[in-house]
Structure 1
Amino acid sequence: MEENNKEVKNETIEWIKSIVTAVVIALLIKTFVFNTTYVLGNSMYPTLHEKDRLFANKVSLYFHGPSRGDVIVLKAPDAPDKDYIKRVIGIAGDIVEIKDGKVYVNETMLEENYISSEAYTHIYEDSIWEVPEGSVFVLGDNRDEGASKDSRYFGCISIKSIKGITGFRYFPVDSRFGKIK
């Protein structure tokens, strides 16, 4: 009987160790490797739709910053309890200008095949920005007036506020499943 109790106790301890190890590994992955996020709102339409679920890669942020065209998850500069999903348009040293509804980076009109062909990029106050070191300029893909709070609204954002780079939509499982363009 005593030996049976000892076996049960040892097995219980092994189960607890396994569960604690699994939780620690999951927390490390979520903190340093990747996270998941979901889309609320239409600021990234037509690329992303309400309730899309995405993977956000954190690892690449440790080795290099985001690149032009990356879709990122960032801490909302105007609402600390929220995250925004936006597209990187300009990186450090770039001059971003919006004129006649078109976006220019370093005086070259940006080819934006991810937005509607009829899209007109509105401006709020400023129409030209120089992206400082350690920052990026971001826009939502939905350029309808007032549809996206982005760098036109709050200026360039610090790379430190970026929580991950999204690149893969895993839900819903339909024709849009897979790599984000």
Structure 2
Amino acid sequence: MKKLFAFIWNWVVPIAIGILAYVAITTFWINIVTINGDSMDPNLLDQQKVLVQKTQNVKRGDVVVFDAREEDPRIKTGNKDYVKRVIAVAGDTVSYKNGDLYVNDKKVDESYISSDERNAGTASSFGSSWNLDSLAKTGLWSAEDQKETVVPKDSYFVLGDHRSVSNDSRYFGYIHKKHVIGKIHVPFWYSSTVKNNISKDSDHYFA
């Protein structure tokens, strides 16, 4: 009996605790995901591993992963989660003109992407000047999103960093808070440039 108790205490209990801890961490706090595609290039590359923190505290500039099956009506077969950057939150306006992106009429600091993506990439398919109202009128958005000229409650407007190829809110409208899986964090061994570009401090969001 003593041997059985020792076996349970020394082996079974630690294993059970480890399994429970893993389930708790991956379910309620943090997980590892693999980037699929080039929409966040050059900051996040295809097939790179990143950490996802499950949180409801999402701010402008954060990079998030969300269930695209609930947001993109033209999602490609086999795709599930999209990784994009939050440009605007509930109540915000968004506009683009002359190579600059504006939120609430304040120019956004887009130093995390190249000048080509700030200009031609952001303008691609929608011209050198657009706003939420003009995007809604393209007919690409859902009927519900087309009624909104500001980001609606519990929603976000998102863009990929590689905007010339990114399928994002310009094409499918706002994403809802309930479909956000979590916020992206990069591992410590990534370059300081990438870490700074992904962990965009909202206090320095505007230029």
Q: TM-score, normalised by structure 1?
A: 0.81
Distance 1:87 1:11 in 2: 51
Q: Are residue 155 (structure 1) and residue 173 (structure 2) matched?
A: yes
Query: Does 2:131 correspond to 1:128?
Result: yes
Code of the residue aligned with 1:8 in structure 2: it is K
Distance 2:53 2:61 in 1: 15
State the Cα distance separating 1:84 from its structure 2 match: 1.1
User: Any idea what the Cα deviations from partners look like across 1:127-165, whole Å, max 9, x if unmatched?
Assistant: 322200100110000011xx1111111111111111111
**Matched positions, count:** 168
Distance 1:178 1:139, change over 3 A: closer
From 23, 26, 51, the counterpart of 1:27: 23
Give the partner amino acid of 1:132.
P
Residue aligning to 2:36: 40
1:86 is aligned to 84
Specify the alignment match of 1:73 in structure 2: 65
How many Å separate the matches in 2 of 1:122 and 1:178?
24
Change over 3 Å in CA distance of 1:49–1:175 after alignment to 2:
same
Distance 1:114 1:169 in 2: 18
- Partner of 2:161, secondary structure, is coil
8 Å contact 1:42–1:50 — kept in the other structure? Answer: yes
Quick one: distance in 2 between partners of 1:12 and 1:178? Answer: 47
- Runs of 5+ in structure 1 lacking a partner? 1-5
How far apart, in 2, do the equivalents of 1:108 and 1:54 lie?
31
TM-score (norm 2): 0.72
Give structure 2 stretches of 5+ with no counterpart: 133-149, 198-207
- The one-letter amino acid of 2:67's match is K
Q: Whole-Å Cα distance in 2 between the matches of residues 97 and 11 of structure 1? A: 66
Task: Mark the structure with the bigger radius of gyration.
Answer: 1
Moved over 3 A (4+): 99-102, 123-127, 173-178
The sequence identity of aligned pairs, in percent, is: 38
Deviation of residue 104 (structure 1)? 1.7
> Equivalents in 1 of 2:124, 2:153: separation in Å?
23
Give the RMSD, CA atoms, in angstroms.
2.4
Rounded to whole Å, the distance in 2 between the matches of 1:23 and 1:177 is: 35
Q: Is the Cα–Cα contact under 8 Å of residues 43 and 194 in structure 2 kept in the other structure?
A: no
Decide which structure has greater strand share: 1
